[in-house]
Amino acid sequence: MKPWNEADAGKTDIDQLVHLSNLIGSNLSLVQPGGGNTSVKLSESDLFGCAASSLVVKGSGTDLRTISPAGFTHLYLDRLSLLRQKDSLSDEEMMALMRASMLFPDGDPVPSVETPLHALLPARFVAHTHDVATLSLTDTPHAEENLRRVFGHEVAFLEYVRPGFPLAKRLAERYSEGPPANAIALVMEKHGLAVWGETARECYDNLRAVIEKAETFVTEQPKGKRTLVAPATPGLDHGARSELAASILPVIRGEMARSGWPSVLHLDDSPETLQAIAPDEFPEVAARGVMTPEHILRAGIRPLVVTWDDEVGVGASHPSKRELDTQAADDSFDPTSLATVNGSPQHAADQIRHAIRTHRDEYAAYAKRHGHDPIPDFLKTIIVPGIGIIYAGRDRRSALVAADCYRATMQVIANAESIERFEFISEKDQAEMEYWPLERRKIEDSEKSRHELDGKVALVIGAASGIGRATALRFAEAGAHVVAADLDRAGAESIAGDLNERAAERALGLPLDVSDSNAVADTVRQTVLHFGGIDVLFYSPGVGPEYHSVVDMPDEEIEQKLAVHYRGAVAATREAARVMVEQGTGGRLIYNASKAAF
């Protein structure tokens, strides 16, 4: 953890709350993007100029890493304290009560669902994390026992209950007079940690003490006790792995789109990730869930795990249609079931389709068991040992958030298995969280604001200037992710940088000489590896005329024009069309050329 810096912390309580929040938010082992929250209790003037005891708490939709004073909501503390008197409260009633408690309702963000938790904890500064260290202790069958082995009674404990009012109600019932006087933190089973202090620095110091103590305990566990160990078999080299990944990513995007969810993909094939997912036991453990309920909304309730057949291996024969039909006919629900991938990239694509469709059927059965219609964005994490983890999101940024969340989950899995056994909340509790109306409404509201090209990927060749640049800008305005390619590398990177300033992770700039068909193929491949596929090709490079008399036109000039305006266009069409065919969702091929070029 980063040290507290008094010079950077500022003088006011709000400044110090921001510093505390930014420190926590910058550490992915403490919170993941958008997660966690912080608060301080103050005395301040309301709109009428009257002094009021207030709770200043992180607002909904903000991020601790980047939050500023404007990202916090100010609420009347005495009104929130009335929550203690409520036996039950619907989500609508809770949100109405919190809105009625806002000091500045027209200027502040909507209160977070964790606001009641902060209101009922008496300390001035409170920080709530979804940290790897304490969840490694409580994502186990004997959470409280493991916690007491580490902390004794230095921390308070609550069994799992859904976040929001149910959690606040359980806290009020268990600790009606507040947490024990000697406690510096509250550990919430399979959910996270709340620490406190009278100052922001004391709160941060208490957080550091709790985290370091838990981390020390984890590192002291004997190795070999349920520890996940990667097999010693050699993996694919980087080139072969990338080639195979490029062949299956469009397949995945296509299956997602046919499920009603146009998505953008992110491939994590880092050495750390490949090692983490390599153990033979990992698929069964991964099927148990994620590390904290909030991650269900970001990374899905559980990943789809697709594994290679170790006995057959890459390059072996493809399973027969009868074998595939036999698998497809078996509709029994088994969350640990695995799809076996064999043979060439095309064989892999066939098996990926089968795996996703099987997973979709199993998910639909799960949703039905708990009284829901399946949501389209149910699958956000796909694990293919030897290839990496593929994350899906409504945009690349969402896919990267899912990646941050699941990397933390993998750390918790490894730690919990070394302590005892990784175990998440029950399937019933997972469904309650995944279909929580308050959270689903946020997602549905965001869907209403989708643009025409949201979830689409456009490759614009000739994007550094002129019509190509304008087209790249227009595609991005309509919601598309854009790959800007051009012979002018600086120009391509410049337009991509401009697009990313407007919306993070929306564009990629690449150098491209379209007269080289291998370079064209590589650009399409890089587009697929970065965003998962292609939906639109816009081809706009051109070579200006020299205005010779036709009798003086040299062969070199004719060859150059053919290479750029014809052969380059054919190569780009061929490579982009291959991707679109694999996706199976159609696409658009658009060409822009000046008659002067001919």
**Cα 407 to Cα 281: distance, rounded to the nearest angstrom:** 17
Q: What is the pLDDT of residue 350?
A: 86
Q: What is the pTM of this model?
A: 0.90
Reported as a pLDDT band with limits 50, 70 and 90, residue 231 is low
**Cα 393 to Cα 434: distance, rounded to the nearest angstrom:** 16
Average pLDDT in the 63-80 region? Answer: 97
The whole-chain average pLDDT of the chain stands at 89
Q: Residue 465 above 50 pLDDT?
A: yes
Distance (Å) of CA 270 to CA 32, 92, 127, 252, 320: 19, 43, 31, 20, 33
Q: What is the pLDDT of residue 320?
A: 34
Average pLDDT in the 23-33 region? Answer: 97
- Residues in the chain, overall count: 598
Assigned token pair, 4: 């507290």
Q: What is the pLDDT of residue 500?
A: 98
Q: Crossing angle of helices 13-25/200-219, nearest 10°?
A: 20
Q: What is the pLDDT of residue 344?
A: 67
pLDDT digits (tens, 9 = 90+) for 305-316: 996 554 334 332
Reported as a pLDDT band with limits 50, 70 and 90, residue 66 is very high
CATH 3.40.225.10 domain locations along the chain: 6-219
Q: Which of 215-224, 248-257, 388-397 has the lowest mean pLDDT?
A: 215-224
Q: Which of 132-141, 277-286, 529-538 has the lowest mean pLDDT?
A: 277-286
Looking at the DSSP bridge assignments, the partners of residue 432 are none
Reported as a pLDDT band with limits 50, 70 and 90, residue 372 is very high
Distance (Å) of CA 506 to CA 381, 394, 498, 558: 20, 12, 10, 37
What contacts 371, CB < 8 A, 6 or more positions away?
A: none
Q: What is the pLDDT of residue 596?
A: 54
Reported as a pLDDT band with limits 50, 70 and 90, residue 474 is very high
**Is it true that domain 457-597 has CATH number 3.40.50.720?**
yes
Of the candidates 476, 465, 467, the residue with the CA atom closest to the CA atom of residue 502: 476
Select the CATH number that applies to the domain covering 6-219 from these four: 3.40.225.10, 3.20.20.80, 2.160.20.10, 1.10.3720.10.
Answer: 3.40.225.10
Percent of the chain with pLDDT over 90: 77
In 3-state terms, the chain is what percent helix, strand and coil (to 5)? 45, 15, 35
The fold for domain 238-447 equals L-fuculose-1-phosphate Aldolase (3.40.225)
CATH 3.40.50.720 domain locations along the chain: 457-597
pLDDT digits (tens, 9 = 90+) for 529-574: 999 999 999 999 987 667 667 777 787 877 888 888 899 999 999 9
Average pLDDT in the 55-70 region? Answer: 96
Reduced to 3 states (helix: H, G, I; strand: E, B; else coil), residue 536 is strand
